[in-house]
């Protein structure tokens, strides 16, 4: 069976794949941060929904690939998870 990491390493040799992967990284980071905040709080999606006053399916969508939450929603996540929202920009290595 082929290891996913090995496949990824091979695919990264393809410029189109590399570009698409880089373009999707912010979405991966957002999803990871949302799930991480919930995990930090030690709560499941049901509890998160209850704390935010929304339906659990909204949490599922929020943590899904096509999510594009507003800053207001991210603040509500922070409040529900006992965390602080921090948004930052980092230098792009490609820009001098």
Domains of the chain, start order: 4-81 (1.10.260)
pLDDT at residue 2, as a whole number: 73
pLDDT at residue 3, as a whole number: 86
What gap in Å lies between CA 36 and CA 42, rounded to an integer? 10
pLDDT at residue 59, as a whole number: 98
Alpha helices in the chain (DSSP H): 4-11, 15-41, 45-52, 56-62, 71-81
pLDDT in single tens digits along all 96 residues of the chain: 678 889 989 999 999 999 999 899 999 999 999 999 999 999 999 999 999 999 999 999 999 999 999 999 999 999 999 999 999 998 987 766
pLDDT at residue 61, as a whole number: 97
pLDDT at residue 96, as a whole number: 61
Give the pair of three-digit tokens for residue 5: 């990491």
pLDDT at residue 93, as a whole number: 79
pTM score, two decimals?
Answer: 0.83
The region that residue 53 occupies, defined by phi over 0 for left and psi between -120 and 50 for alpha, beta otherwise, is left
């Amino acid at each position: 069976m082929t290891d996913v990491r090995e496949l990824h390493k091979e695919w990264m040799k393809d410029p189109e794949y590399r570009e698409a992967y880089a373009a999707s990284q912010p979405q991966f980071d957002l999803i990871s941060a949302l799930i991480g905040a919930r995990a930090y709080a030690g709560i499941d999606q049901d509890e998160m929904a209850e704390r935010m006053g929304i339906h659990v399916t909204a949490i599922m969508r929020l943590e899904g690939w096509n999510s594009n939450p507003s800053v207001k929603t991210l603040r509500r996540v922070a409040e529900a998870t006992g965390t602080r929202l921090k948004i930052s920009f980092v230098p792009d290595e490609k820009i001098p």
